[in-house]
Every structure is written in structure tokens, then in C-alpha cells.
Structure 1
Amino acid sequence: MLRPLANHDSVAIERVATGASDDGAGKSEQGQFFYEFNLDDVVPPDHLVRKIDAMLDLGWVHEELALLFAHRSAIDRSELMIRMLIVGYVFAIRSERMICREVQVNLAYRWYCRLGIEDRIPDHSAFSRARHERFRESNVLRRVFERVVAICIAAGLVGGEAFSIDASLIKADVDKHKRAPGDQPIDWPKAEEASHAVREYLASLDAARSEDDGGDGPSSGESDGGRGGKPPKAVSLTDPQAAWVARKCMDPFFAYDANYLIDNKLGIIVDAEGTRANRIDEIAVTEIMIERVERRFGLAPERLAGDTAYGAAKLLKWLWDRGIAPHVPVWDKSKQTDGRFTKEDFVFDRDRNVYICPAGAALTHSGIVDQGRILPYRASKNDCSICTLKSQCTTAVARKVSRDIDEDVRDQVRALANTEAFQVSRRERKKVEVRFAHMKRIHRLDRLRLRGLSGAKDEVLLTATAQNLRRLAKLIWRPPQPIVGMPVA
């Protein structure tokens, strides 16, 4: 276990220089000293580590991990490594090797980690073992994050009425040239010879295969992530779970998503999750995070702000059914960009279950549901052939309009866009963008250091924890006040 530092625990440091005298003369010039001081005295009272230490108790880490892994002697250093990781992510020390070096030489970091001058620092390789063997199995990093969120709630920093959701791309730690086409089989190495990231990827394929068809055979190596959908354009041979991302005005790269759910009151991150960089995962993790926040903290927002990526009908319906007003622009792929009539120019007659076109003709439902969600409505060829407005409507033989099975919810969400509350949410949503800017600029998480989806999850969670701790320290920490009647040094 960590040795607590007593208030008056003095330590001595000897700095030796060749040729020092024995009679004390010329000590300042020759640099031979014994320094005796209290480590607690050298850490300034307003140092960030003092604020964090006063707010976050980590004494539970050793006890709970000991219950789960009683046969492992390394549990004794788990709290120390959690403290060192907090130091690393709060102060943007991106390498575990550098974290060890900085804790070795920085007295404030030693103080926070409950280390005396004579105590040895764990080797950087111990972090990798702890991460794979203990931290992920016990989910301890998420539990640390949630304890910080609970402190924010108790301090009154979380309103709970309005949330915002967004995702930000983070480059994966790979060479983008070491890739293979996503539509071709890949000869992956055997599990015992593969890296952790490759083993994790192959395991995810096998798990998805078992869920999809009940098969118990090994994965064939298909590179669609086991989703059964369209394969990606490219797969990284170093970190196969990283997604190949192409954006306008930038070169393609491999990346993961950092997903943040924030409370709009003061921008506290109430949940965070690393995922593959695609829209499907962004939508799915939104539901997961909202449910988790309600389960963990009893927070059920009245409204959720997000950009168009969260405007899919399925998610809007899920939010609406839970009593959450989606302050999100509706995602509509049917909009015309060539000046022709858009879907909004067609009026839906609910009683007759038809759309009425600008010329007054009816578009009827054919009874076919595309992809289980889309209802196509088609005009008559005869009506379109004699229509004087056809040149403004379509180049096809007949016009078609699609309607989602949850179009009623989409219409209700569209109506929300005209409310004052929607405009307030739109302004407040910028707070999540600020959190991402801090994540990349202050905490330097513009590129991941760990590989694999589990590595992305760890780094996103630790960074969100560090951001909340900084926010806590800024908003609620106050320096200790002298006792009335006592002399002030």
C-alpha cells in the first residue's frame, strides 16, 4: 500500500560533488550539502496537485482491487499507478515512460503520489501490465471518472436538465501506409504472434460472428468489424479497429472517436467513451451514455443538443420516447441541391396516407419498406408525363418521396427548431466543442498513444477525468484559511 506522508515527515537529500571540503568552508561554491526539509512544505498551497488531492480520495482503489485480485501482489501499487496516471493526464505528460521520469524528479508529483524521496518509482512497463491485467478487468478507470462526476454533482456544478453530445476524431497511433484494402481477405498472424491490438480486433470479429449467426468457427478475417455491412476502404495492419477516415480538405487517416456527453450548466463531462470513428457507433453510444448517466447518478435530462450527425430518426424516436427533447437538426438525405422541389414542397395527407405534390397529384405508398425503415411514395407515370411542373420536380419517369417509419417524430423535432429553448441549446452546445479544444490543445490528445479500441477507451476516459478535475479545481477549490486568533507565518 501507499505510505501516507506524515505532516512533519522530514527527509534528507545528499548532493555530492567531487572535491568537497570537510571543514564546511566553501560549501556553497563546491555544492556539497545535506538538505533536511518537510516534503509537505515545499509544495505550494495553491498547486494543482493539492487541489486534486483535497477533492479526490483514492483510498478505495487498493481495497476494491484486492477483493477482485487477492492473489496478485502487485495490487499494492495500483493506487500509486492511478495517481501517476492522473498526474500524467492532468499535466499532459503523454508517455508512461515520461510520467515515471517526471514523478522521479518533481517533488509536487511525488507528494501527490504519496512517495518519499527515498521511494522507488515503478517501471513504465508496469503500467502496461496493470492496464491489461487489472485496470480493464475491474473497470477501475471508469470508476475513478464516475467518482469525479459524483463530486461535481455534489458541488452543484451539474444542472441535470440539459445535456449536449458530440464526437471528435483522434488520430490513431499508426503508419497510414501500412494498410490493406478493406474488401480483400487479410492473412493475420496467429494469436500468440499478433500484437494486442490485432488480437483484440480478431476477438471482436469472432464475437460479432457468434452474435450474428450463432457460428462457433474462427473468424474468416473479414474486415467490416463483424457488422455484416459494407467493408471499409482500408484496414490498418497495425491497429485494425481504427477507422479509415476521409474528410474534405484533408488527407485520409486512421482514427477513433472521442464521444463526450456534457452538462450544459458549466460544461462538466458526465460521460465519455472511445469508439470506432463511424456514425453508427456515435448514435449507439449516445443511448448507452444517457442510460448509464441515469443509472449511475439519477440524471435524466429534459433536452439533448447535438449536431446533424445525431438527427437520425431512430435516435430521435428513442429520445422522444424517454421524454428527452432532441434539440438536433433532423438528418434528411432527401434534400435537393439542384433547385428542384424538395420533400418539404410535398404535403402529407395523413387520413389518405398519400403525399400531395405541388401540382395536386397524389403519391401513393407502394407497400414496400426499404431497409425496414423507409416507406416509398410514388407518383403515377401518367400524372408525371403530362405535368407542367415536371422540369422543376424530377428527371425520372415519376417522382418518388420517401418517408421514415418515425417521420411523425421527425416532424415534431423539426417544429422544435423554432422554439427559444432550441436556440438556447444551440448556443450551449458550443461548450462541448470547447471541451474538445481543451482535450487536444491543453491535454494534447490529438493523437492516441495506446492502440486498439480498449486503448482508445482508456485514453478518452482518463483525459475526461483530467478535464473534470481541472474544472473542479478552478470552480470550487478554496485555499485553507488561517484559524482566527492564530498568528499567520
Structure 2
Amino acid sequence: MMGRLKSDQGQLFYEFDLSDAIPEDHLVRKIDTALDLSWLRSDLAPHYSSTGRPSIDPELMIRMLIVGYVFAIRSERLICREVQANLAYRWFCKLGIEDAVPDHSAFSRARNERFREADVFRRVFERVVEACIAGGLVGGEGFAVDASLIAADANKQRSIAGQDWRRDRDPARSSRAVKEYLTTLDDTAWGAASDVIPKFVSPSDPAAQWTGAHKGPAFFAYSDNYLIDVKFGVILDVEASRAIRQAEVGAAKTMIERTEERFGLKPERLVGDTAFGAAPMLNWLVEEKGIAPHVSVSDKSKRDDGTFSRSDFRYDPTADVYHCPGGKQLGTSGTVHEGKTLLYRASKLDCEVCPLKPQCCPKEPSRKIPRDIHEHARDVARSFAGTEAFEQSRRQRKKIEMRFAHLKRILRLGRLRLRGPRGAQDEFVLAAIAQNLRRLASLVARPPPAHAPCIA
């Protein structure tokens, strides 16, 4: 006989255990096992008044934000609606079936005030990384670094020319995003990264960089910088920066130093693309940090006109001279040009009678070889190229590219909602928390113990 739905839902009492409604293999169960926020209330206590009306529980707000980023809900208004209707999200947020869900406006105030004052998102991220380390997901031997462009919440039609933007404006009369930008002018990942005036500036978010790096239509963007451990792709650090190479290199240094300071982890090797193959960065890795750079060296010394390239000249570090293919020496005066280059010159008398002059310097009286002051570090990096370990690092670098693909395609963070350097940093850190939690949950999390039934 065909069944029929009950039209009367006015039952007075229900015996209902919210946990029973959540499948044992649901992602929220695994994430809940991996996430520990027991420290949050005590650490945030100094930022709340001891009198007045009780505020919304900060753990509830953090859990709701994590739900949003884990399940790609790109609006705080929509997060509130989903938590209101979705039993699994309610259970994860520790809400009962009749508990009220906070209004979406509460998130903006908490994020801009107490959460930023206490740097809560960064501390939650670090606790998740510690859980990954404790779970054996971090090897500590090899790290990879890279950056990806994320579109900013800025409109080209409302932008102004770069030369018309003035930094000497009154912060008190500026928006929050502009105030944040003005405080980062001396930061190596922001204002101090380059003194080049951008073509366009967005008045609503001046820290966003006008860029055409994707070889398509230009747009305003931030760089999302990741430092990962290559064992399982766990994100060890995350940093927002301007969308230019100098800023990304500065962010990489910050992340490496912060990871060593915070977790006591320093890799034996660092994997990266040619963006991190500039001489100053390589010198920092080799001479200051003692890290093997598995990085393709940025080298423009190869000639394509048929004459000898620098690689055809042999450098003697003992005598600090180059030996040319004709057997003569090129020495240097020791003068550093443009703050980074030494010039090694051959004798004009040697070059005039040399039979190889048409292949060496046909248009010059003598040959000169430029050598970067950090060339030793570049040579160290070149020595790894072609080795089995270097090829393995090249394969492992795909893991960081997969993290960015997951960020944009699964978590749907292709465009920012928040403005300013702090807004971009908050979004990037929350997304990294979500990615690490998903990774941790899929590899080591165990089902939680059963909860006692309750009567509602």
C-alpha cells in the first residue's frame, strides 16, 4: 500500500540526539577530532570587558568561519543561513537544535577588532600546523615555496592613474583598507618591495597590485604565498603580499624564518621556481640559512650571437680570476658596479693578437665578464641541477601547485571579499587552516566518541 507523509508536525516532545543525524564518515566529524580550540576563550579573555551583556562565544564564530572556508561558502551571510539549516554544521559549531545562530554582522566587528588584536586566525593556523606535526604529516627535510595571484575586490573602472595617487594623506579620513595600506609602506612585502609606480591604483584598496602576469586582461590582485612541507603538502606558513616578484621573495624569507622560530623547523632544501633564483635570495639561503636551494637559477648570461658566453670562461676562486678559451686571465679591480656586479677584464694587448677574438669580442677592444657579488651562491644552486635529488624536488614542487589549484577550484577562493592587507591576510590564513584541516582529517583523524542522547 502506498504510504503518505504526515501532515501534522505538532508533536510536543522529541527525543533527538543531534549526533545521530550526522553520518560517521562526514567531514565535520573528522575535522572536529582534529581541531582543538580549548585555549581560545582564555587567550581572548583580556580583549573582552568583565561587565556588560555577554558576547557571542568566540569559539562559535571561529567554528562557523571554518565551516565557511572548508565547504567553500563564500559569504558570512550565507554561512549563517547554512548553519541554521544544516544539522552537520550545527553539530560542528556545538549548537543545539533550538540554539540561535549569530547575525552575519557580528563577524565583521569581531574580525576587525578582537580577532585582529589577538591575531586569532594566525594562532588557530599555528595550532593546526602543530597538530599536523604531531600526526607525523611533516617531514621537515624539504620545503617548497610559491605564490599565486588572487583577484582583489577592486574595480578597474573606478581606479586612478598611479601617479595621481598620493601616499601623504590623512589616515584619520581614510577607509580601513587605506589605513592598513599606509601602515605597510615600509614593509618588504608591501610598500618597500618596489618603488615603481603602478599603472593604476584602486582608491578603495590601494595595496592591490595592478598586474597582467597571467598574460591576459590585467586586474587588481594580491599574492597568496605558501610555504609547504613536501612530505604530505601541509602548509607550514602563509603570507599575503603585493603581486610582484620582489614582494613574494620577501614573503618567502619571512615565512622561512617564522617557521623556524615558531616550530623549530628548518629544511635541508628549499624547492622553488626561477622567481626565487635571483642572486640575493640564493645568497640568503646558502650563506645565511645553510639551506640547499633546489631552485632554477635566473641566468641571462647566455649569448645567442655565436660568441663565447660566460660559461665558456673558467673561474678560479683561489686567484679570483677568469681563464678565457685562449688561456689568458681576466682580473678585476674589485669595484662593485650598481651595488651588485664585479667586472673582470682581459688585457687589450692579449685580445688584439688572439685568434679567437672574432668569436669572443668582435666589436670590443677587449673582453669583459660581469660576475655577481653573490655568484658563489648561484654556483651552489647550479651544482644541484640535473642531480637525482633535484629532479625529485621538481616533482615534489607540484604539491604546492596542487594546493593552489585546490584553493581556487574546491574552496573557490579565486577572488577576495575583504579589502586591505589585513583583509587579504585573514582570508588567506583562514583558507590555509581549512586546507590543513582537510588534509589532517583525511589522513589521521579518528571518529569521535558517541554522545549521550538528550531531550529537546
Q: Same fold (TM over 0.5)?
A: yes
1:47-446 aligned at under 5 Å gives the runs 47-70=26-49, 76-186=56-166, 190-205=170-185, 225-226=191-192, 229-247=195-213, 249-321=215-287, 322-380=289-347, 389=356, 392-393=359-360, 397=364, 398-446=366-414
Aligned residues: 442
Report the AA paired with residue 198 of structure 2: P
Structure 1 unaligned residues grouped into runs of 5+: 1-25, 212-223, 483-489
Residue 10 of structure 2 is aligned to residue 33 of structure 1 = yes
Counterpart contact for 1:377–1:403, Cα < 8 Å: yes
Report the AA paired with residue 247 of structure 2: D
Aligned pair partner of 1:457 in 417, 422, 425? 425
String of CA shifts for 1:422-476, please: whole Å, max 9, x gaps: 2211111111111111011101111111111111111111111101111111111
In structure 2, what is the Cα distance between the partners aligned to 1:476 and 1:233?
A: 48
Q: Which residue of 2 aligns with 1:15?
A: none
Task: Give the 3 Å change call, closer, same or farther, for CA 189–323 of structure 1 in structure 2.
Answer: closer
Greater length-normalized contact order (CA 8 Å, ≥ 6 residues apart): 2
Report the AA paired with residue 237 of structure 1: P
Counterpart contact for 2:227–2:255, Cα < 8 Å: yes
Aligned pair partner of 2:441 in 473, 485, 488? 473
Deviation at 1:54, TM superposition (A): 1.5
Identity %: 57
Report the AA paired with residue 256 of structure 1: Y
Report the AA paired with residue 234 of structure 1: F
Task: Give the 3 Å change call, closer, same or farther, for CA 276–164 of structure 1 in structure 2.
Answer: same
String of CA shifts for 1:283-328, please: whole Å, max 9, x gaps: 2222221222222222221111111111122222222233321111
Counterpart contact for 2:56–2:102, Cα < 8 Å: no
Deviation at 1:33, TM superposition (A): 3.5
In structure 2, what is the Cα distance between the partners aligned to 1:435 and 1:105?
A: 30
**Displaced runs of 4+ in structure 1, greater than 6 A?**
none
Counterpart contact for 1:327–1:417, Cα < 8 Å: yes
Task: Give the 3 Å change call, closer, same or farther, for CA 318–121 of structure 1 in structure 2.
Answer: same
Report the AA paired with residue 91 of structure 2: W
Instruction: Normalising by structure 2, report the TM-score.
Output: 0.88
Q: Secondary structure at the match of 1:52?
A: helix
Deviation at 1:74, TM superposition (A): 6.5
Deviation at 1:401, TM superposition (A): 2.4
Residue range with higher mean Cα deviation, 373-382 or 67-76: 67-76
Task: Give the 3 Å change call, closer, same or farther, for CA 231–365 of structure 1 in structure 2.
Answer: farther
Q: Secondary structure at the match of 2:183?
A: helix
Deviation at 1:396, TM superposition (A): 5.4
Task: Give the 3 Å change call, closer, same or farther, for CA 244–119 of structure 1 in structure 2.
Answer: same
Q: Which residue of 1 aligns with 2:453?
A: none
In structure 2, what is the Cα distance between the partners aligned to 1:274 and 1:237?
A: 19
Residue range with higher mean Cα deviation, 373-382 or 192-201: 373-382
Q: Secondary structure at the match of 2:336?
A: coil
Deviation at 1:159, TM superposition (A): 1.0
In structure 2, what is the Cα distance between the partners aligned to 1:138 and 1:396?
A: 64
Report the AA paired with residue 81 of structure 2: R
String of CA shifts for 1:378-410, please: whole Å, max 9, x gaps: 445565566655554457535442212221222
Q: Which residue of 2 aligns with 1:10?
A: none
In structure 2, what is the Cα distance between the partners aligned to 1:58 and 1:392?
A: 69
In structure 1, what is the Cα distance between the partners aligned to 2:49 and 2:183?
A: 27
In structure 1, what is the Cα distance between the partners aligned to 2:232 and 2:194?
A: 41
String of CA shifts for 1:48-91, please: whole Å, max 9, x gaps: 11111122121221111013444586654211110011000000
Q: Which residue of 2 aligns with 1:216?
A: none
Instruction: Normalising by structure 1, report the TM-score.
Output: 0.83
Counterpart contact for 2:295–2:381, Cα < 8 Å: yes
Deviation at 1:248, TM superposition (A): 5.7
Q: Secondary structure at the match of 1:173?
A: coil
Task: Give the 3 Å change call, closer, same or farther, for CA 480–393 of structure 1 in structure 2.
Answer: same
Deviation at 1:129, TM superposition (A): 1.0
